[in-house]
Amino acid sequence: MTFAKIAYRQLNAPQKEIYNFQKFAARLADYGYNCIRLSDDWQGADFLACHLDGVTVLRVQLKARMVLDRKYVGKGLHIAFRWGEEFFLYPHDDLLATVTALGVMDEEKSGWKDRGSRSWPVLPRWAVEFLRDHKV
């Protein structure tokens, strides 16, 4: 049997989500987490990351990029996304507090006011700084 690597760009959206879940699960295993994929976005989470300490459980939403969404506020969710070969996992509400404190986003900014969400297809300098502590 020979194995041939797949081309990520050729995957459809559900396949990309499965692929990214597997990649994050492998990364988080190095930190003592067992990841359980959820089929129904339970309380906003795509998967649970359960630490071997028996106490820590992260509810994680997979995304294609760094994102904020009003529907995630106050739910204790973490957002996971890949940027090239780098993997990031950040508390959603910590990012919201950071962008608010920096004045990067407020209630009147495009996307947040209209749709209740904001994402960044290219990481701004302030985001690189924020994400430095959230790399896995």
pLDDT per residue rounded down to tens, the chain (136 residues): 999 999 999 999 999 999 999 999 999 999 999 999 998 888 889 999 999 999 999 999 999 999 999 999 999 999 999 998 899 999 999 999 999 898 887 666 666 777 888 888 899 999 999 999 999 9
Total domain count, the chain: 1
Sort 103 into a burial class: Cβ within 10 Å, 0-12 / 13-18 / 19+. Answer: exposed
Q: What is the pTM of this model?
A: 0.90
| Residue 3 maps to a domain | no
| Residue 128 maps to a domain | yes
| Residue 37 maps to a domain | yes
| Residue 2 maps to a domain | no
Task: Tell me which H or E stretch contains 6.
Answer: none
74: left (phi over 0), alpha (psi -120 to 50) or beta: left
- What gap in Å lies between CA 43 and CA 50, rounded to an integer? 16
Looking at residue 103, its pLDDT comes to 84
| Residue 97 maps to a domain | yes
| Residue 122 maps to a domain | yes
| Residue 86 maps to a domain | yes
Looking at residue 113, its pLDDT comes to 72
Task: Tell me which H or E stretch contains 136.
Answer: none
Per-residue exposure over 75-99, b if at least 16 CB sit within 10 Å of its own CB, e if not: eebbbbbbbeeebbbbebbebbebb
| Residue 44 maps to a domain | yes
Residues 120 and 65 sit within 8 Å (Cβ to Cβ)? yes
Looking at residue 109, its pLDDT comes to 61
Whichever domain contains 76, its CATH number is 3.40.1350
Looking at residue 100, its pLDDT comes to 87
Domain of 41, in residue numbers: 10-134
